[in-house]
């Protein structure tokens, strides 16, 4: 899926070359997008992580500033990551116990659960809903010549509170994370809720996929370990 028009500050998004309705040959709506050259964001592709974090923040700022044009948090635009943390506790909470008992004894589950509980106790977000990319992990951030070049995979595009949008910065090195936070001016409550979203996705990923999707489990564990390390 392409970004809403204009959603590129310093990074671009994929532009649709063709969009078609369901038909006899294929029963679902489909589209073709232009190819964007670039590498995934990794230590061997990014030259300056602070600049990378600031550039990602610029993209997010512009995306979140786009007029909703009547779009609301309903139907396909109501993905859970744009909602309330409290609504997720029923399915997140059991995963802490899963990780203690069976999945991964190397994680500091006590610290992760403490941070999750602390975020649940915070006031709920009070700002306006915005457009959300929903999955700004490094594999969706393309790098060219050492810099952020494009943001791809808008399949999770939704409308909601922005806190969860910031969760994937714990997949990035500390200097990128801090530059991102500074550039957007995120206060402590927003940062704590964003971190809790990162914990929610990570802890449920470890719990659910432990035996069936080791690559994703490794990604989740790395994120959770970065959160714990930042607390130390």
| CA nearest neighbour of 12 among 149, 134, 115, 118 | 149
The DSSP secondary-structure symbol of 185 reads T
206-222 pLDDT, tens digit per residue, is: 999 999 999 999 999 99
Q: What is the pLDDT of residue 10?
A: 46
Q: What is the pLDDT of residue 9?
A: 43
Mean pLDDT over residues 180-184, rounded? 98
Q: What is the pLDDT of residue 64?
A: 96
95-120 pLDDT, tens digit per residue, is: 999 988 865 568 999 999 999 999 99
Three-state SS at 222: helix
Q: What is the pLDDT of residue 101?
A: 82
Task: State what percent of residues in the chain have pLDDT above 70.
Answer: 91
List Cβ neighbours of 208 (8 Å cut-off, separation of 6 or more).
95
List Cβ neighbours of 190 (8 Å cut-off, separation of 6 or more).
125, 162, 163, 166
110-147 pLDDT, tens digit per residue, is: 999 999 999 999 999 988 999 999 999 999 999 999 99
- Joined together, the tokens standing for residue 230 give 């930042």
The DSSP secondary-structure symbol of 19 reads E
Q: What is the pLDDT of residue 139?
A: 94
The DSSP secondary-structure symbol of 12 reads B
Task: State what percent of residues in the chain have pLDDT above 90.
Answer: 76
CA distance 163 to 166: 6
Question: pLDDT higher for 159 or 17?
Answer: 159
Domain ranges, ordered by start, for the chain = 39-231
Specify whether the backbone of 144 is left (phi greater than 0), alpha (psi in -120 to 50) or beta: beta
CA distance 23 to 171: 40
**pLDDT band per the 50, 70, 90 thresholds, residue 4:** very low
Q: Is 6 a residue whose pLDDT tops 70?
A: no
* CATH entry, 39-231, from 3.30.70.2700, 3.30.470.30, 3.40.1160.10, 3.90.1200.10: 3.90.1200.10
Q: Are 143 and 38 in contact (CB under 8 A)?
A: yes
Q: What is the pLDDT of residue 34?
A: 79
């Amino acid at each position: 899926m392409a970004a809403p028009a204009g959603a590129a500050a310093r990074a671009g998004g994929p532009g649709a070359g063709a969009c078609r309705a369901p038909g006899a040959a294929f029963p679902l709506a489909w589209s073709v997008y232009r190819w964007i050259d670039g590498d995934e964001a990794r230590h061997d592709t990014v030259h300056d992580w602070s600049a990378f974090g600031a550039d990602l923040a610029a993209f997010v700022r512009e995306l979140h500033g786009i007029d909703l044009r009547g779009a609301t948090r309903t139907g396909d635009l109501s993905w859970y990551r744009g909602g309330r943390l409290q609504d997720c506790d029923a399915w997140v909470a059991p995963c802490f116990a899963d990780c203690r008992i069976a999945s991964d004894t190397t994680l500091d589950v006590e610290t992760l659960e403490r941070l999750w509980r602390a975020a649940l106790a915070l006031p709920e977000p009070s700002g306006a809903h915005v457009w959300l990319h929903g999955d700004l992990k490094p594999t969706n951030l393309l790098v060219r010549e050492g810099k952020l070049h494009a943001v791809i995979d808008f399949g999770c595009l939704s409308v909601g509170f922005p806190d969860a949008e910031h969760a994937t910065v714990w997949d990035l090195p500390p200097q990128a994370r801090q530059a991102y936070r500074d550039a957007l001016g995120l206060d402590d409550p927003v940062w704590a809720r964003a971190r809790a979203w990162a914990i929610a996705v990570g802890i449920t990923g470890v719990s659910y996929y432990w035996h069936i999707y080791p690559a994703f489990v490794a990604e989740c564990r790395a994120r959770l370990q970065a959160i714990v390390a930042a607390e130390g």
